[in-house]
Amino acid sequence: MKRILLYILLIIGVTSYAQDSSDTVSGQVLNASTDKELESVHIVNLSQVIGTITDEKGEFTIPAKVNDTLYFSYIGYKPLKVRVTNDWTKFGDVKIKMTELGIALEEVVIEDVQLTGYLEIDAKRIPVYNNYRYSISGLNSGYEGGSRQPGAVNKVLGAIFNPADFLYNIFGKRSKELRKLRKMKKDDEIRNLLENKFDRETLMALLQVERLDIDEILRNCNYSADFIKFANDLQILDAISECYEEYKVLDRK
């Protein structure tokens, strides 16, 4: 009887180990043309909202299961989506090859602000964008009304007190993807990645939306054109997250 019990425990242990070991996948990221290892490539599991980066040898390990989608992002290279297969989880490491982008520099003409090199003069020529946030008691945060004009407050209040129209068509149809926002905000690797990015590509992949959709969300949340244009991807993530949480509070009411 003791032997039978021991065998059962051993089988359970082996099964548990196999299950645990299949919850991560490993690989190496290389340059597609030179096979050179790529260090610090950002990898995000879009299905579980978990991130990691490659080491100096281009190697990585990330929690993942079969059919999860991994998103690879690296400056100067084309982003890549790879689906986790049964073979990957069974046989171990794979080589992921990323294609380098051709960068064509175009002539840049600066017309709006021409700097002279003298601090006192240039400080007066650089435009200052004054954007204001309006907060209302009971909500998590406020709304950016743009310039301080009488109509700005009315615009904000109109959006808040009409929750049926306010972002319903945007948030209502993407609730599954937007629920990932909380996970994204808690993952340090994803936050570090987004803090240094301004292209919205990772956000588009995570939320399954287009660039125009992201801009539309922010406009409907009353963020200024300056914020939408110049904020980094982490700031955009936090802004969408705050707006979504407030939308859910208003929708329940």
CATH (domain of 61): 2.60.40.1120
146 and 107 inside one domain: no
Interatomic CA distance for residues 42 and 157, integer angstroms: 40
Write the pLDDT tens digit of every residue in 32-77: 999 999 999 999 999 999 999 999 999 999 999 999 999 999 988 9
Residue 124 belongs to a domain: no
Write the pLDDT tens digit of every residue in 148-162: 444 444 544 454 444
195 and 98 inside one domain: no
Domain edge (last residue) among 116, 141, 168:
116
Ramachandran region of residue 99, left (φ > 0), alpha (ψ -120 to 50) or beta? beta
Total domain count, the chain: 2
- Show Cβ contacts of residue 200 under 8 Å, excluding neighbours closer than 6 positions: 211, 214, 233, 236
Q: Alpha-carbon dihedral of residues 145, 147, 153, 155, nearest 10 degrees?
A: -60
What tokens does 240 get?
Answer: 């969408």
Closest CA to 46 of 186, 190, 171, 170: 190
58 and 150 inside one domain: no
| pLDDT confidence of residue 66 | 94
Residue 4 belongs to a domain: no
Closest CA to 178 of 77, 49, 75, 69: 49
Closest CA to 37 of 8, 74, 71, 5: 74
Whether the Cβ atoms of residue 143 and residue 156 lie closer than 8 Å to each other = yes
| pLDDT confidence of residue 115 | 58
pLDDT over 80 at 203, yes or no: yes
The order of strands in the sheet holding 94-98 is 59-63, 24-31, 94-98
Q: Which among 19-28, 119-128, 206-215 has the top mean pLDDT? A: 206-215
Average pLDDT on 126-152 reads 50
Whether the Cβ atoms of residue 42 and residue 193 lie closer than 8 Å to each other = yes
DSSP state of 181: H
Domain span at residue 142 reads 129-252
Whether the Cβ atoms of residue 139 and residue 222 lie closer than 8 Å to each other = no
- Percent above pLDDT 70 for the chain: 62
pTM of the model: 0.64
SS3 66: coil
